[in-house]
Structure 1
Amino acid sequence: MLATRIRQWKSVALTTAAVLVGLTVPALTATPAAATTTAYDSTYYKNAIGKTGTSLKSSLHTIISANVTKLSYSALWDALKVTDQDPNNSSNVILLYSGISRSKTLNGGDSGDWNREHVWAISHGDLTTSTGPGTDLHHIRPEDVAVNGKRGNLDFDEGGSTFTNSGGSKVDSDSFEPRDAVKGDVARMILYMAVRYEGDDGFANLEPDDKVNNGSNPYIGKLSILKQWNDEDPPDSFEENRNNVIYTTYQHNRNPFIDHPEWVDSIW
């Protein structure tokens, strides 16, 4: 991306200058997500517009939790064939971490199949696959069975090694790094879950934190990395279309961080 390349040029220039004069220059950070406006601001988000911090988070929780249609775990199969359809091949879905386009008919649990990946791992807070957060379409995506297994329930961070069908995603002993093209998508899905599920509906209060190895606790990290990914990889047309389809056809709620990625920095 151009913004990333510019930051790299600036970093090189500053580092070179620092060497010449014997100074230390702090690392540059990602440019915060730009403020946006949407057609939903005067309707769906009207009670959140103008708020910040905890007040914004509370308002968004109320908005995205109201009048939601909840899907069963089995219903996710057919829904994913629509939400994640390959724009260039209507017979296929796009797999999240690997980026592979695979036939919709190859859904299941065998080698070469795609299955239902929980981006917020179900063991983080014991979500289970009963109707609720464990079947929330906003964070469930198609993925190759083996790649899904590689991610397991790892927290998100940078580093590691690529693997078969990784698409550029990486894994190490305690974390998983998605391919660059979906890093922002992953961040916005995780942070949606943290706002949607606040412990007031019989399920765990989900929150991001800034560490890995969260185990069965209802946390996923690392927050600082997720915020960075949100800034570096803004929503694209695939992610925006997915949000619209979930809203209009399935759950009838939206991921607010796809519509307003700048709200991530406002809340966290």
Structure 2
Amino acid sequence: MLATRIRRWKSVALATTAVLVGITAPTLTATPAAATTTAYDSTYYKNAVGKTGSSLKSSLHTIISANVSKISYSAVWNALKVTDQDPNNSSNVILMYSGASRSKSLNGGAVGDWNREHVWAKSHGDFGEVTGPGTDLHHLRPADVTVNSIRGNKDFDNGGSTVSGGGGSLTDSDSFEPRDADKGDVARMILYMAVRYDGGDGFADLEPNEKVNNGSAPYIGKLSVLKAWNEQDPPSAFEEKRNQVIYDTYQHNRNPFIDHPEWVEAIW
């Protein structure tokens, strides 16, 4: 489906050497995502490849907004049962934030159920559950009802106290930090929304910023943290398959940051 990605990470040898000689090792961070090649570069992405900055963002907006099929909010239930199916148990879905595998039949609003999480919180831009941003599968994921409620409409940032049942997620009064395995997913979903919905289609112009506690403004932070998460947690096979299913079966558009995670740094 997609060519193998090549990613380079800073060696841990420096840290090991530091311990041996009794000095403090510097903090190690991931290098920017290496350029990738996909099966869609000469077709779907042909007008974006090679561009950077606002030119790349504009080209991607045009690409991912063209000929898109939209579904109703009620139809999202069944769509998520397909897009987020547990690869090891076809009767279950994998839940965002917790990573738990739960029966597809337990969709609803009660404790122990899973519901439809808007990763770009719907109050950030006041689009609710309207067909369009409110039903866009690229940022809708199944999540445990209780964990979803704890996340609420909080912005994304590092730090906080452990979320019960959250798989290692953390939260404080104004932000939410997903478990490590979902950090890149969150970043790429948020940045997809910022490119897809630019204010030109009757909805708010969604943008990331460097704040938390954005409230009802059409912003979500923190951009610097989201960029770091994109580097730290590259696209997984599950995320790539999900992108493909949405493209093939439902909306017929792609999240470009799953196919090309290096485009995050190229734009922002």
Normalising TM by the smaller chain, what interval?
Answer: over 0.9
SS in 1 for 2:210: coil
Which residue of the partner structure matches residue 29 of structure 2? 29
Cα 1:5–1:159 change in 2 (3 A) is farther
Query: TM-score, length-normalised on structure 2?
Result: 0.93
Alignment of 1:243-262 (within 5 A): 243-262=243-262
> Scaled by the length of structure 1, what TM-score is found?
0.93
1:10 aligns with 2:10: no
Which residue matches 2:164?
A: 164
Q: Could you say which residue in structure 2 is the equivalent of 1:120?
A: 120
* Mapping for residues 63-102 of structure 1, pairs under 5 Å: 63-102=63-102
Cα pair 1:4 1:232 within 8 Å, conserved = no
Aligned residue for 1:75, secondary structure, equals helix
Tell me how far apart the structure 1 counterparts of residues 110 and 257 of structure 2 sit (CA, whole Å).
34
Q: Structure 1 residues 11, 204: CA separation in 2 closer, same or farther (over 3 Å shift)?
A: farther
Among all aligned residue pairs of Structure 1 and Structure 2, give the percentage whose two residues are the same amino acid: 74
The one-letter amino acid paired with 2:84 is: D
Q: Give the whole-Å Cα distance in 2 for the aligned partners of 1:79 and 1:6.
A: 41
Match in the other structure for 1:238: 238
Measure how far apart 1:11 and its partner are: 5.0
Unmatched tracts of structure 2, length 5 or more: 1-6
Aligned AA for 1:86? Answer: D
Secondary structure of 1:258's aligned partner: helix
- Give 1:262 deviation, angstroms: 0.2
Mapped to 2, the partners of 1:165 and 1:257 lie a distance apart of 28
Q: 1:35 to 1:69 in 2, by over 3 A?
A: same
Shift of 1:18: 10
User: Residues 114, 49 of structure 1: CA spacing in aligned structure 2 closer, same or farther, 3 A cutoff?
Assistant: same
**2: CA distance, partners of 1:199 / 1:16:** 55
Pair 198,11 (structure 1): closer, same or farther in 2 beyond 3 Å:
farther
**CA 220–16 in structure 1, closer or farther in 2 if over 3 Å, else same:** farther
Within 5 Å, give how 1:163-182 maps onto structure 2. 163-182=163-182
User: 1:31–1:5: structure 2 CA closer, same or farther, 3 Å change rule?
Assistant: closer
Equivalent AA in structure 1 for residue 135 of structure 2: T
Task: Check 1:5–1:34 CA distance in 2 against 1; reply closer, same or farther (3 A cut).
Answer: closer
Q: Structure 2 CA distance, aligned partners of 1:15 and 1:189?
A: 38
Higher helix share: 1
CA distance in 2 between partners of 1:116 and 1:211 (Å):
25
Query: Structure 1: 5+ residue runs without aligned partners?
Result: none
Q: CA deviation at 1:210?
A: 1.2
Question: Partners of 1:231 and 1:142 in 2: how far apart?
Answer: 24
2:40 match:
40
When the two structures are aligned, how many residues end up with a matched partner? 262
Call closer, same or farther: CA 1:54–1:18 in 2, change over 3 Å: farther
- Where does residue 106 of structure 1 map in the other structure? 106
CA drift at 1:10: 3.2
Q: For the residues of structure 2 that align with 1:14 and 1:261, how far apart are their CA atoms?
A: 32
CA distance in 2, matches of 1:213, 1:11: 36
Question: Could you report, residue by residue, the CA deviation over 1:79-105 in whole angstroms, capped at 9, with x for unpaired residues?
Answer: 000000000000000001000000000
Tell me: CA distance 1:103–1:130, structure 2 relative to 1, closer, same or farther (3 Å).
Answer: same
Paired residues for 1:123-138 under 5 Å:
123-138=123-138
Q: What RMSD over aligned residues (CA atoms) do the two structures have, in Å?
A: 2.0
- Determine helix, strand or coil for the equivalent of 1:204: coil
Aligned partner of 2:3 in structure 1 is: none
Structure 2: distance between partners of 1:150 and 1:53:
35
Contact residue 84 and residue 94 of structure 1 kept, 8 A: yes
* Cα shift at 1:13: 5.1
